Amino acid sequence: MNAVAPAGIRLQHGARAVPAGPVHTTPLGYDRDGIPVGAPLPLPASAELVRHLSGCGEIDVAFEGKLGDTLLALSGVRAVVDWLQLCSVRVAIRAVGPYADLIARAGLLTRPRGTRPSGWRAAIGDRPGTEAHGSKTAVNLVLDPAAPPCWSSDGHAHADLPARHYLAMERRLGVRLPGTAPFAPTLATRPNDLVAELRSRGWLNGLLLATITATSWPERKDYTDRRYIELAERIGEAQQSQARLLLIGGNSAGDLRITTEAPRRHVQVLRLDGAPATDLADLFPHCRLVVGNDTGLTHLAAMAHSKDSGCPPVVGLYARHSHSKWRTGLPHHHAVATDLSDRMHQGDLCPVRDVIAPGTDFHMDAFPPAALARICLDLLTGEGQ
């Protein structure tokens, strides 16, 4: 579904398949649906890569860069794990670095029972991670977000970055892997002290909204507290309810700060600054809706999954970058995008990498709270499905 808001912004629904025709793509090179799982592809595998992985005893999953790039690249790790299982290669896979706890939640790590693993060591991750942990490895696999193109097969475009990474690895390994869209793994939740504290305060009841202000590019991607509060007020008024709003921000000092604001007519505001990503992964599934800029915590909200609470709708705001590439591909992860973002999607372009200057400068003010509230209300009531 594509719903156009009055302000000219457009909802790109997470469950909508992208047809290959209108989008600039690279042919995958084979009819994926017509090849059985485990069968060789009609493309040559990377013989040296296959040789090294077949002889591996240990693999380090090593990411040191941005949180968002790390989360969207975990599908590439998933592809390697799927291939190892298909080939019955016994290997110990562990996570290292600052995201080790989050990666462990994706269900990708293994430690075979019995004797200590023998064979080569390998590392898979981003460039900083493999450089930090791969000095004594036989092979390093770098999952660069700029590398895999938007693949097309069976009439569909595989535009999201998790699909790009998974299919790129499948091509290199030369075997039809079992993964199907969505390719991004979900992250399991755990009991959490922050969640327990918020529950004891009554914050997890009723119409709980979470919004993300933390970003590495605030001058471009910060929607601002003021706009988020207005958004929550409009949603609360329309729902005839007192909305509870979590304003999730960063904190350079690294310590957690929780502050409350005086209640307004339709919204109560709680600020969470500096909350660790692991705590937020446990918190997001308790929300009714999450709205954020194109940043790692928004991707985290989409991937965090609770057996009890499931996954709330997650809405990313895309003013300048492709709304399709920089998403998880999960059906509840939606985008609200400008025309410029849609053109970046159509041409598989990046305004930074490709040095494309927009006709006008696009910032978060492209998303008026009133128009965004109407889109969010449709998702909350199921009319946007």
Q: Are 167 and 151 in contact (CB under 8 A)?
A: yes
Residue 275 has pLDDT above 50, yes or no: yes
Q: List, for residues 84-118, the tens digit of each pLDDT value.
A: 999 999 899 999 999 999 999 999 999 866 556 67
Residue 70 near residue 63, CB atoms below 8 Å: yes
Rounded percentage of the chain residues whose pLDDT exceeds 90: 80
Q: How confident is the model at residue 310, as a pLDDT?
A: 81
What value does the mean pLDDT of the chain take? 92
* Model pLDDT, residue 362: 67
Q: Are 175 and 38 in contact (CB under 8 A)?
A: yes
- Burial (CB count within 10 angstroms: exposed 0-12, middle 13-18, buried 19+), residue 343: middle
In the predicted model, what is the mean pLDDT of residues 226-254? 91
Report the C-alpha gap between 281 and 277 in whole angstroms: 6
pLDDT at residue 1 tops 50: no
> pLDDT for 337-358, tens place per residue?
999 999 999 999 998 888 887 6
Cα distances (Å, whole numbers) of residue 101 to 98, 108, 248, 327: 8, 12, 20, 22
Task: Write down the H helix ranges in the chain.
Answer: 47-54, 67-86, 100-104, 127-133, 161-173, 193-200, 218-221, 225-239, 277-283, 296-303, 339-347, 369-381
Chain position carrying tokens 């017509």: 34
Task: Kindly tell me if the per-residue pLDDT of 215 is higher than 80.
Answer: no
**Selected residue with higher pLDDT from 43 and 115:** 43
Average pLDDT over residues 286-312: 93
Is the pLDDT at 216 greater than 80, yes or no? Answer: no
Q: What is the mean pLDDT of residues 45-74?
A: 96
Higher pLDDT, 347 or 252: 347
Q: Which residues pair with 140 in a beta bridge?
A: 123
What average pLDDT score do residues 352-370 get? 81
Q: For the residues 23-31, what does the mean pLDDT come to?
A: 96
Average pLDDT of the residues in 248-259: 82
Confidence band for 158, pLDDT divided at 50, 70 and 90: very high
At residue 253, does pLDDT exceed 70?
A: no
The whole-angstrom separation of Cα 340 and Cα 93 is 41
Q: What is the mean pLDDT of residues 106-132?
A: 86
Per-residue model confidence (pLDDT) at position 267: 97
Q: What is the CATH number of domain 2-16+188-381?
A: 3.40.50.2000
- Which range is least confidently modeled, 205-219, 232-246, 271-285? 205-219
Q: Is the pLDDT of residue 213 over 80?
A: yes
Q: In this structure, are residues 5 and 371 in contact, taking their beta carbons and an 8 Å threshold?
A: yes
CA angle at 340 for the pair 334 and 344, rounded to the nearest 5°:
75
Contact 115, 93 (CB under 8 A): no
- CATH 3.40.50.2000 in the chain, residue ranges: 2-16+188-381
Write down the residue that tokens 């696009």 correspond to. Answer: 362
Question: Does residue 4 have a pLDDT over 70?
Answer: no
- Given a cut of 50, is residue 154 above it in pLDDT? yes
